[in-house]
Amino acid sequence: MDQEMENKVILYATYASPYSKRVELALKLKSIPYQLVHEDLQNKSQDLLKYNPVHKKIPVLVHNGKPISESLIIVEYIDETWTNGPHLLPQDPYKRAKVRFWASYIHLHLVDVVLKVVKSEGEEQEEALTEVKEKLSIIEKEGLKEIFSDTDGEPTVTNETMSLVDIVMCTLLSPYKAHEEVLGLKIIDPETVPGVYAWINAINQTNVVKELSPPFEQLLEILRSFRQISLSRS
């Protein structure tokens, strides 16, 4: 295998997928060249089905011809394989475990309920929004002091310090202003969760997030279309 083929990185993804964006952020932070293959999930390619025969979902990272699936696992693989650039997980085992814990917490307990807020209306949406605020309150009270233990719980994020948990939070709530405009409700209240609010805005100010974020009007269009399709199916 020649060196070019040996180092080849391909990402099978879809546009505007938060799970795909996690992987793209990790690749960009590590300055890893990659080929992006956009998948049509209504007409999945044979390559995607071959590389992820279990879940048949994106994202899939193919490195040296070997596929890795599931976004959190892919990000950890990237961090362990490419030691150049910033560490996406702390080297200290305890801090590493805490970052993994909170990334997993957000992934398992917040992603689906935020999506439900976007995809529903009426009482169902109100219940989902209440749950989102409860989860954010837990992160505010318990998570920030562990995630940002080196800064006394004060959220600070740069291209050089962005970690796995920042990446997961980013791809979920980075576009919160677009969510609030489309839905006509407040998701992140700076008065009740000031730390989370500061965290998200610090993430949004990083160069890598600005580079990967679509223009605001385009984001509004994507969210409106997604919401309309979701409501029509319910």
Nearest to 13 by CA among 213, 45, 204: 45
3-7, long-range: CB < 8 A, 24+ apart: 5/64, 5/65, 6/64, 7/64
Mean pLDDT of 97-108: 97
**Is the whole-model pTM more than 0.85?**
yes
pLDDT (tens digit per residue) in 135-187: 999 999 999 999 999 888 899 999 999 999 999 999 999 999 999 999 999 99
> Where do the domains of the chain lie, and which CATH numbers do they carry?
9-81 (3.40.30.10), 93-232 (1.20.1050.10)
Residue 6, pLDDT score:
60
Classify residue 175 by its DSSP letter: T
Cβ–Cβ under 8 Å, residues 75 and 22: yes
Query: In b/e form, how buried is each residue of 89-98, taking b as 16+ CB within 10 angstroms?
Result: bbeeeebbeb
Nearest to 198 by CA among 144, 161, 234, 119: 144
Judge whether residue 103 has pLDDT over 60: yes
Mean residue pLDDT of the chain comes to: 94
Residue 1, pLDDT score:
42
Judge whether residue 230 has pLDDT over 80: yes
Judge whether residue 4 has pLDDT over 90: no
Judge whether residue 112 has pLDDT over 90: yes
In the chain, DSSP assigns E strands to: 9-13, 35-38, 60-63, 66-69
Residue 2, pLDDT score:
44
Residue type, 32: I
- Binned at pLDDT 50, 70 and 90, residue 7 comes out as confident
Tell which wins on pLDDT, 234 or 147.
Answer: 147
Mean pLDDT of 89-103: 96
Q: What percent of the chain has pLDDT over 70?
A: 97
Lookup: tokens for 102: 């909170």
Q: What is the C-alpha separation between 156 and 163, in angstroms, rounded?
A: 11
